Amino acid sequence: MMKGQTSRGRRIWTTIGGFTGLLAIISIVIAYLQLHQADKASLSSDFTQASVIAIINEQLAVQREIATAQANPVQSGPTATIVAERIAQLVSTQEALEIGRRQIEATQTAIVRHGVNTGGSATQLTSQTTPTVPLQASIATPNPGQTPELVRCPHRIDFGLTIQCSIDAASEIDTYTFDAQADDRVMLRMARASETLQPWIRVFAPDKAQVCESYAERLADLLDCHLPRSGTYSIQVADSSRERKETGNYTLYLQRLNNPGITLPIAFGQPLSGSIGRPTQIDSYSFEANVDDRILIRMLRASETVQPWIRVYAPDGRLTCEAYAERFVEKTDCIIPRTGLYTVLASDASRARTETGNYTLYIQRLNNPGRATLISPRQALSGTIASPAEIHTYTFEGRADDKVVLRMNRTSETIQPWMRVYAPNGVLTCEGYSERQAEAYCTLPRSGTYTLLVADASRAGTETGAYSLSLTRP
């Protein structure tokens, strides 16, 4: 019976196909689950699995198209507008698919919790216990750092998701499972959401041996838990107070630091806006890099009280570089140890990890930069830093022992000129900054393509305005 249901579910996805079909069928799947709740959760679990697999496959296809578009940027003209609109549409599609997937999983979870695990009849499930998040065909203003829906009390937890549940009785232990491979590295975060619960998280290997543990009064972080073998791991969540009697709601976050889940690609030279909308939230991004690349990455608080914290992880999940500050943080020389896919985690750095707000995230490769404009000797250029933390990138050709002079003048508003020149290997060669007019005198150490970064030099990094730029060889 269940095998037939799984096959039928897959045939439905194949027949309808496409994003529009997926949006339509999500509502049908939820209705199906609710209709068959009297048959207990086991009847609908295979159908749920087939539905979720179809959505995930579509999400992967969308993410691949986004990455392809961002890896081959068009600088200007009608084609650039079309590409930008297409990327925005794809991000919107990705978000709508994610909402649909969570709706299906949350509905199935509600059936399991209320129809089987509590010992009650499945017919007790009502519209109050079944999540009914409205599904929209499009989402306005796609935002890579958008605050995700919370998934309530699932049995399994996916990488990159935050779930919410509660410890309702003294000595209660909640258990969640996830699958992993040998030498995976994961991070977990458990935060008290209400009352007096003191977070305690433990990770157990497939052979039941304890692998990692963390506990605290309000928020417990496991920043790097190394998993020794492949298989199904379990997470035990409980109260860590001495008497084990405190209760309350909590949130739990799991992410794999190598091969992470639910990440969005970030392109070199393209600023992204995000939002930490919930205490303890962590946003994940990814980028491709080659061994010995040198990366600049910055994060600026755009509103409220979030304190920027950025961490970059190598393909094997090891921390490569990190920076944090109260308002504005920049890591200027992050050296890439190996070729592959890197993960960026953006979050709040306050002691309690509870501050929220909007932020801007920017990343650039100092050797072989992205979205760069060519500047030639004796050429006068102009530009505008229109948003906080924005950086403009230029490139020019130079020969060993050449001498160049760069000048940047403020022409409007309050921007404080700042120029930095990087050699072909990404090492800083010279820089100049001033309140109104900056100059940089550089002797080039080697032949090749040099990178020039233009930005605001104010301490907060938030000033904007127009500027003029020139390069000469005396």
pLDDT digits (tens, 9 = 90+) for 327-370: 999 999 899 999 999 999 999 999 888 899 999 999 999 999 99
Residues contacting 36, CB < 8 A, separation 6+: 43, 44
On whether both 336 and 387 belong to a single domain, the answer is no
pLDDT digits (tens, 9 = 90+) for 389-416: 899 999 999 999 999 999 999 998 899 9
On whether both 398 and 466 belong to a single domain, the answer is yes
Q: Which of 142, 171, 189 delimits the end of a domain? A: 142
CA separation for the pair 275, 181 (Å, rounded): 31
In a domain, 281, yes or no: yes
In a domain, 193, yes or no: no
Q: Which of 365, 392, 419 delimits the end of a domain? A: 365
On whether both 414 and 449 belong to a single domain, the answer is yes
On whether both 346 and 390 belong to a single domain, the answer is no
CA separation for the pair 3, 345 (Å, rounded): 40
In a domain, 242, yes or no: no
Q: Is the pLDDT of residue 63 over 80?
A: no
Best CA proximity match to 418, nearest among 386, 449, 448, 452: 452
On whether both 136 and 42 belong to a single domain, the answer is yes
Total domains in the fold of the chain = 3
Cα distances (Å, whole numbers) of residue 83 to 78, 94, 141, 145, 298 = 9, 16, 16, 21, 25
pLDDT at 194: 81
- What residues does 362 pair with on adjacent strands? 298
Residues contacting 384, CB < 8 A, separation 6+: 464, 465, 466, 467
- Residue 315's CATH number: 2.60.120.380
- What residues does 179 pair with on adjacent strands? 232
Q: Rounded to the nearest 5°, which phi and psi values hold at 62?
A: -65, -45
On whether both 269 and 387 belong to a single domain, the answer is no
In a domain, 156, yes or no: no
On whether both 457 and 419 belong to a single domain, the answer is yes
Is residue 431 classed as helix, strand or coil in its secondary structure? strand
With residue 11 as reference, give the H or E element that holds it: helix 2-16
On whether both 317 and 414 belong to a single domain, the answer is no
CA separation for the pair 203, 201 (Å, rounded): 7
Residue that wins the pLDDT comparison between 342 and 388: 342
| CA angle, 273 then 432 then 359, to 5° | 10
On whether both 71 and 123 belong to a single domain, the answer is yes
Domain that holds residue 417: 373-472
Residues in the chain: 474
Q: Side chain identity at 467, as an amino acid letter?
A: Y
On whether both 275 and 337 belong to a single domain, the answer is yes
If you average pLDDT over every residue of the chain, what do you get? 80
On whether both 5 and 135 belong to a single domain, the answer is yes
Best CA proximity match to 344, nearest among 395, 285, 412: 285
pLDDT digits (tens, 9 = 90+) for 105-152: 555 554 444 443 333 333 333 333 323 222 222 222 334 456 666 778
CA separation for the pair 12, 183 (Å, rounded): 38
pTM for the complete prediction? 0.70
Percent of the chain with pLDDT over 90: 61
Best CA proximity match to 272, nearest among 141, 149, 384, 393: 141
Looking up tokens 């695990």 gives: 117
Count CB neighbours of 41 within 10 A.
Answer: 22
On whether both 339 and 402 belong to a single domain, the answer is no
